[in-house]
Amino acid sequence: MTCAPISVARSDSQRVDVRLRQHLMSSELRIRQKIGKYRLERRLGQGGFASVFQALDTIQGIRVAVKIPHSQYTTATVLNEFRREIRTTQNLEHENILPLKDASIIDDRLVMVFPLGVETLLTRLTRRLALDTALDIAEQIIRAVACAHSHRVIHCDIKPDNVIVFPENRVRLADFGIAKISRKTVQGSGTGTVGYMAPEQAMGKPSRRSDVFSIGLIIWRMLTGSWPEWPFEWPPQGHQRLRSKVPQEFIDFMRRSIEPNPRRRFRDAEQMLSVFLKLKPRAVRHARTRRRASA
């Protein structure tokens, strides 16, 4: 989460307060600082709830990603919620779900350790994605969420920042459970990130269909380069570009995925995956046929 520019209309005291909070979040942890056995090497990201670092495990000699909530959020309430969420999600073992390697209290800080990826999907989207690659990534995301849904776990914050890219375009979905804690803690209520949320989720009624909607937005962005925006009227921006790439049946799949009315959406990622797997090879063949015809 990035900090919005400070409004000119704010008072001097408000400006100072905003800058002080930003300073506290950024200065409480330093590069090359050692926390337990982990030496922080570089900052990968920072949000309202936590900072993420590349760190060296000085005992095993491997690099990992370390997520550390800001000190003001390391409270008994947060830790109790964290324990509950982790116990709920610990059975989610899947090749496309980022596993939590370790979670410890070190120097009064909650330190969460994960495998280190190459970049986030958000960063990857700044470069061109071939159709085959985009569809492969889409399948991996849907498979991860389908696994969660089969265990009755809802992610609630599926977005490109939480999709971690590893070598050979293997992706793993991060922040199961943690996303809900961070959003509740920082915002006080509700879960999800505005811009990636289904309409009903923004109203405080998330479901598995809400995760389907978020996945659909990501797939749309990968295939068209555009983000559908509220009120999500059909057809969204990028529709013509999508029509030039995939057959009509895949466009129908996309429309059902990002349908504002949750009852008209796929009921969960398992159903979404079943349809996607039938359409994916047809979309690839369609694209290859069009390329040959235009050659």
Whether 215 is in a domain gets the answer yes
**Residue 15: pLDDT over 70:** no
From the number of C-beta atoms within 10 Å of its C-beta (0-12, 13-18, 19+), residue 165 rates as buried
Angle, in degrees to the nearest 10, between helices 269-294 and 248-257? 150
**Residue 123: pLDDT over 70:** yes
**pLDDT tens for residues 219-248?**
999 999 999 988 899 999 999 999 999 999
Residue 47: partners with Cβ closer than 8 Å, 6 or more residues away: 1, 182, 186
pLDDT band of 263, cuts 50, 70, 90: very high
According to the model, what pLDDT value does residue 180 have? 63
Question: Is residue 12 classed as helix, strand or coil in its secondary structure?
Answer: helix
Q: How far apart are CA 64 and CA 14, in angstroms?
A: 37
Q: Give me the CATH number covering residue 199.
A: 1.10.510.10
| pLDDT, mean of residues 46-55 | 89
Q: How far apart are CA 107 and CA 100, in angstroms?
A: 20
Q: Which of 27, 54, 29 is nearest to 43 (CA)?
A: 54
| pLDDT, mean of residues 145-174 | 95
Mean pLDDT, the chain, rounded, equals: 86
**Residue 5: pLDDT over 90:** no
Tell me, yes or no, if 211 is annotated catalytic.
Answer: no
Q: How far apart are CA 1 and CA 112, in angstroms?
A: 19
**Six token digits for residue 70:** 């800001």
218 and 127 co-located in one domain: yes
Single out the residue in 100, 115, 130 at which a domain terminates: 115
Residue whose token pair is 């330093």: 30
Report the relative pairing of strands 102-106 and 50-57 from DSSP bridges. unpaired
**AA identity, residue 269:** A
Q: Which of 161, 176, 42, 158 is nearest to 98 (CA)?
A: 176
pTM: 0.86
Single out the residue in 60, 89, 115 at which a domain terminates: 115
In this structure, the chain runs to a length of 295
From the number of C-beta atoms within 10 Å of its C-beta (0-12, 13-18, 19+), residue 291 rates as exposed
How many domains in the chain?
Answer: 2
Residue 132: partners with Cβ closer than 8 Å, 6 or more residues away: 284, 287
According to the model, what pLDDT value does residue 292 have? 79
According to the model, what pLDDT value does residue 150 have? 95
Catalytic choice (157, 161, 175, 268):
157
Among the residue ranges 17-21, 77-81, 156-160, 221-225, the one predicted with the least confidence is: 17-21
140 and 235 co-located in one domain: yes
* Long-range contacts (CB closer than 8 Å, 24 or more residues apart) made by 186-192: 186/47, 186/48, 186/49, 186/73, 191/156, 191/157, 192/156, 192/157
**Residue 66: pLDDT over 90:** yes
180 and 253 co-located in one domain: yes
Cβ 100 vs Cβ 92: under 8 Å: no
Single out the residue in 115, 136, 171 at which a domain terminates: 115
Cβ 38 vs Cβ 111: under 8 Å: yes
Between residues 88 and 19, the one the model is more confident about? 88
- State the residue range of the domain holding 214: 119-294
51 and 126 co-located in one domain: no
pLDDT band of 16, cuts 50, 70, 90: very low
Helix H segments across 28-130? 76-89, 121-124
Q: Which of 132, 77, 65, 131 is nearest to 102 (CA)?
A: 65
Q: Give me the CATH number covering residue 33.
A: 3.30.200.20
| pLDDT, mean of residues 188-205 | 74
Whether 8 is in a domain gets the answer no
| pLDDT, mean of residues 161-165 | 96
Cβ 112 vs Cβ 178: under 8 Å: yes
